[in-house]
């Protein structure tokens, strides 16, 4: 048999290509440039998929075809999942009730609720380990201010431990005169983040103005913004500006920043609209919990 003839057994490679599992989202814990090639390619593929989905917002990708090797898969109203079954079933049981609770509490309709970037919100929360219990209490409005802990046990004073104001509630904590240093450090930390991550100038100016207005107990109507992001202003106004403290941003923030990075050739798998908003939310939440809510002078 001619060993050079195409199609003969002599042309079958001696080694069979191996299939390796590559852990996803490794860039959550380590910079993209420090990852190995396999991990970088995995991140690149995720980004290409995200780009395609953003370019085709009307495409229903919630349910996927079953793989021949799967045997079975679970389809829930919000989509298909094939792994982390216990975790996903817990979410399926709790998310609708939590969503209904939030919509009722803040008078959101379904459209407003869906406009919030819960993906970035969740990713930011997952980054918080040291203060996660305090963070969750803060996000659901159960942080231990005087008016709340006094209900548990009268031995805890209802007055502000920092300035002595007769009633410490969540609004007072954010405006307490004895926590001005914390508020100044908070503003500084957010500005440094916006500067470092090439934030769109209009987004930068608006977030800075919103922080100054909200922390100084000003009128939200006085928040400065440019006409080129009016759609973001309207969307965030419907959600509520005070919710930016808890990381509840409209999806339009990430989309606008993503386009800004793309237009200026700054977009990379590691540096995009979602990573920018996730980092901003993380910074916003952490500086709140360990700052104005966590360290009286």
Q: What is the mean pLDDT of residues 162-179?
A: 83
User: Which is it for strands 79-81 and 74-76: parallel, antiparallel or unpaired?
Assistant: antiparallel
pLDDT band at 293 (very low <50, low <70, confident <90, very high): low
- Parse the chain into domains and list their residue ranges: 100-143+179-289
Task: Please give the backbone phi and psi of residue 75, each rounded to the nearest 5 degrees, phi first.
Answer: -110, 125
Q: CB neighbours (10 Å) of residue 179?
A: 25
> At residue 296, does pLDDT exceed 50?
no
pLDDT band at 4 (very low <50, low <70, confident <90, very high): very low
R_g of the chain, CA atoms, integer Å: 24
User: DSSP states of 246-260 as a string?
Assistant: GT--BHHHHHHHHHH
Start-to-end Cα distance in the chain: 88
Separation CA 268–CA 198 (nearest Å): 13
Q: What is the mean pLDDT of residues 64-70?
A: 77
* pLDDT per residue as tens digits for the range 181-216: 888 888 899 999 999 999 999 999 999 999 888 887
Which region among 78-87, 116-125, 252-261 has the lowest average model confidence (pLDDT)?
78-87
State the average pLDDT for the chain.
82
């Amino acid at each position: 048999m001619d060993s050079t003839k195409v199609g003969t057994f002599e042309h079958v490679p001696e080694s069979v290509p191996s299939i390796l599992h590559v852990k996803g989202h490794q860039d959550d814990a380590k910079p993209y440039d420090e990852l190995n090639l396999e991990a970088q390619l995995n991140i690149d593929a995720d980004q290409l998929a995200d780009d395609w989905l953003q370019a085709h917002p009307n495409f229903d990708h919630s349910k996927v075809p079953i793989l021949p090797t799967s045997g079975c898969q679970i389809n829930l109203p919000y989509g298909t999942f094939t792994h982390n079954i216990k975790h996903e079933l817990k979410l399926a049981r709790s998310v609708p009730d939590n969503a209904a609770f939030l919509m009722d509490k803040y008078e959101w309709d379904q459209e407003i609720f869906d406009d919030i970037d819960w993906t970035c919100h969740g990713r930011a929360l997952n980054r918080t380990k040291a203060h996660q219990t305090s963070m969750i209490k803060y996000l659901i409005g159960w942080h231990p201010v005087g008016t709340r802990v006094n209900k548990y046990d009268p031995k805890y004073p209802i007055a502000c431990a920092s300035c002595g104001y007769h009633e410490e509630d969540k609004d007072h904590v954010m405006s307490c005169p004895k926590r001005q240093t914390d508020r100044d450090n908070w503003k500084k930390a957010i500005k440094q983040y916006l500067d470092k991550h090439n934030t769109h100038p209009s987004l930068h100016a608006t977030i800075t103005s919103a922080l100054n207005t909200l922390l100084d107990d000003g009128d939200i109507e006085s928040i400065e913004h440019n006409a080129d992001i009016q759609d973001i202003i309207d969307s965030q106004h419907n959600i509520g500006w005070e919710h930016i403290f808890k990381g509840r941003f409209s999806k339009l923030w990430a989309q606008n920043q993503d386009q800004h990075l793309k237009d200026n050739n700054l977009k990379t798998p590691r540096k995009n609209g979602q990573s920018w908003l996730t980092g901003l939310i993380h910074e916003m939440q952490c500086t709140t919990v360990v700052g104005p809510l966590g360290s009286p002078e």
